[in-house]
Structure 1
Amino acid sequence: MSVTVRTKQLLVALTLCFFALPVAGKTEQILTVEANGKIASYTLQDLSNLPQAFVKTRNNYVDDITTFSGPTLRSILEQNGIGPNDDIELHALNDFFVSAPAKDAYNYNVILAILMNEKEMSVRDKGPIWVIYPIDEHPELNDDIYNGRLVWQLDKITLK
């Protein structure tokens, strides 16, 4: 086999891999929910296929009013049998976690943001999932307690 043919084959293989990367990223598990003895897994595609909610707000980690979108936390909790009287833990990729009452998701439009200003968020940019509270819509949410629940790089929700 000549060097030219081998080089062309290598370029074709690399091109195919390059175009497959975005698809692979959407099919990898990025969120698990542990509740009632069961574990549910979600990919970015799974979360994208759910009804999307939008929250336009600011918080301590963005300078301007920012548009976030993704499924509601409530929808994920309901799918997994977690009700408003339960307590949950929100876990991040770096092993940080915070406890929160599930009622937050039932009382407010809390979302699992997968887009910020219509763009997917990388791990470096607080993604792929960032828990967002609608702070600007509800002045009572502009508090350190809720600010501490804005978990970025969310990868697991557990029922306590």
Structure 2
Amino acid sequence: MRKMTRSLLALATAVLLPLTTASWAEGAKDVPSERVVLTVSGKIDTTNVGDTAQFDLDMLRAFPATSFSTTTIWTDGVQVFTGVSLALLLDTLGSTGNTLRVSAINDYSIEFDTDLLQVDAPILAYELNDEQMHRRDKGPLWLVYPYDAKESFRTAKVYSHSVWQLDRIEVLD
């Protein structure tokens, strides 16, 4: 399964990356010009600030956006989330680890296996219902899945991965 998942991610990256205006795809390494909303560290090949990859919101918006409508256990009714595919972001950074530690502003963190990543799920959502998310409404980044799309996305394990106010990802062995 891991080999098939990685093959699908490689294919998606080959198709989507040329479409992005992000200089990450062109080999350049922009540095954030605004407030950093995400820092990725650990087993990655591409960095821009020391041994980390740091992103402001505009840098994340430069990647191809993924949007979906879904209900959540934390909100009322159907919500529309827009953001960047976590798998695409990690593939762009040359991630080589098998485990991720995702952490929030309040230091909540969870570890999970990269085998759980799919091309379009989860996403690092930066918009909720076409509005930029702020700290008071679970932003600026919320790791979300299209929960209504698959029964396997509606489990306690997946819900625990749905970190809001996410600001750090560490790629582990």
Q: TM-score, normalised by structure 2?
A: 0.73
Cα offset, 1:108, TM superposition: 5.1
Distance 1:107 1:119 in 2: 24
Distance 1:109 1:118 in 2: 19
Q: 2:91 aligns with which of 53, 78, 85?
A: 78
Q: Match for residue 33 of structure 1?
A: 40
Asked if structure 1 preserves the Cα contact closer than 8 Å seen for 2:66 and 2:120, the reply is no
Cα offset, 1:110, TM superposition: 1.1
Percent identical pairs in the alignment equals 28
Q: Match for residue 5 of structure 2?
A: none
Q: 2:159 aligns with which of 122, 147, 150?
A: 147
Alignment of 1:47 with 2:54, yes or no, is no
Q: Match for residue 66 of structure 1?
A: 79
Alignment of 1:132 with 2:144, yes or no, is yes
Q: Which runs of 5+ in 1 are unaligned?
A: 1-25
Distance 1:102 1:108 in 2: 13
Alignment of 1:89 with 2:104, yes or no, is no
Moved over 3 A (4+): none
Q: How many residues were matched structurally? A: 134
Amino acid at match of 1:63: D
Q: 1:122 aligns with which of 125, 134, 139?
A: 134
Cα offset, 1:134, TM superposition: 1.3
RMSD of Structure 2 on Structure 1 (CA): 1.6
Q: Secondary structure at 2:170's aligned position in 1? A: strand
Q: How does 1:18-29 map to 2 (within 5 A)?
A: 27-29=34-36
Cα offset, 1:64, TM superposition: 0.8
Cα offset, 1:107, TM superposition: 5.9
Cα offset, 1:63, TM superposition: 1.3
Q: Which runs of 5+ in 2 are unaligned?
A: 1-32, 45-50
Q: Alpha-carbon deviations, 1:33-53, whole Å to 9, x = none?
A: 002273100000001111000
Distance 1:107 1:68 in 2: 16
Bigger-Rg structure (1/2): 1
